[in-house]
Amino acid sequence: MSQLQWGLTIAGTALLVGMLLHTLWMTRRARPRQPEAPATGLDDPFGPREPTLDHDAFEDTGFALPVPEKKPTLDALIDVIAPVSLDAAVSGDALLAALPPTRRVGSKPFTVEGFDDATKRWEFPVPGQRYNQLQAGIQLANRGGALTEIEFSEFVVKTQAFCDTVGGTPDFPEMRQEVARARELDMFASDHDAQLSFVLRARRAAWSPSYIQKMASKLGFVPGAMVGRLVVPASQVGLPPVLSLTFDSQAALADDPTQSALREIMLSLDVAQVDRGERAFARMREAAQALAEQMDGVVSDDNGVALPAEAMDVIASELEVLYDTLAQRELAAGSSLARRLFS
């Protein structure tokens, strides 16, 4: 074989090796990122899991944590309330048995409460307890809209049927006045309902569900009750989560989730549902920035517009005004009344 032929053979071999290496590199680059090692105790990170509270994470944070509220379920601020006079004391067991099977009228919650003479508080009927006073109520407004005339009429019918069973006489407020209150409250709520979301998009390599789980867990996210949803639990057990992180649930349900390629995730905050003391937006902002750095992503709004620090400063300032307005209306963010109204 001549020197020329040897040279061509060597050059051809080098070209083939180069093409093979380039193909392998491109294939590796296209694969979704995987976590370096399984997260301890998260072998099944995408199924329903009860969130746990890391008390150490809330030490020395410099803000007051919410405390349990001691308020009645019904409140004249956001409910129509009909007092019920009884012919005789009625047991909690009898009241529970007489309640209608559906505790809603349209999209509004329907509630009956009894007055506990010992604690001097209204409460949902308790078995074994006896009550001399009752009240029935329906919520004036929620995210489903304001209470309508039809819903008020259904409330009257449902309450009257209940009272006929337990031997009580209801005293209903005037319908037009309550419907007007409902519309005014609904207008206020609509003007002050803030549900924020950031979208984190991959710059280059896509992410696997397990990689997202691993990165988010470092920031306090734990599996939520739905597939494809992670949450930062509230500091008080039983309250709505501070933040949520969601991604395509089908990716987590795939036969081999490690091969699912995700290019975006969403961080969300339901402002009225979370106590101001949780610093929810500040933590949302910090989480978005940390994930963007760690996962090589870019933070944007729902329309794909990048969110620089200046834009987030404006949002933070507007939220402070919103918090003050809600508090002045006795609907402080995270309170039981706010959670009910903005639901």
Q: Which domain holds residue 220?
A: 55-62+193-341
Residue 71 lies in a domain: no
Whether 184 and 314 share a structural domain: no
Q: What does pTM read for this prediction?
A: 0.79
Task: Provide CB contacts within 8 A for 3, sequence distance 6+.
Answer: none
177-215: pLDDT as tens digits: 999 999 999 999 999 999 999 999 999 999 999 999 999
- Cβ atoms 309, 253 nearer than 8 A: no
Q: Which residue has the tokens 């975006």?
A: 264
Q: What single-letter amino acid sits at 10?
A: I
Whether 165 and 242 share a structural domain: no
Of 82, 77, 74, 94, nearest in space to 153 by CA: 82
Whether 324 and 204 share a structural domain: yes
Which residue among 190, 224, 248 closes a domain?
190
Write out the two tokens for 185.
């409250």
Residue 21 lies in a domain: no
Radius of gyration of the chain (CA): 28
Write out the two tokens for 203.
């710059």
42-64: pLDDT as tens digits: 334 534 443 333 434 333 444 44
- 139 or 64, which is more confident: 139
207-242: pLDDT as tens digits: 999 999 999 999 999 999 999 999 999 999 999 999
The CATH number that applies at residue 164 is 3.30.1400.10
Whether 202 and 99 share a structural domain: no
Range in 51-55, 78-82, 152-156 with the lowest mean pLDDT: 51-55
- 10 or 110, which is more confident: 110
Averaged pLDDT for residues 101-116: 95
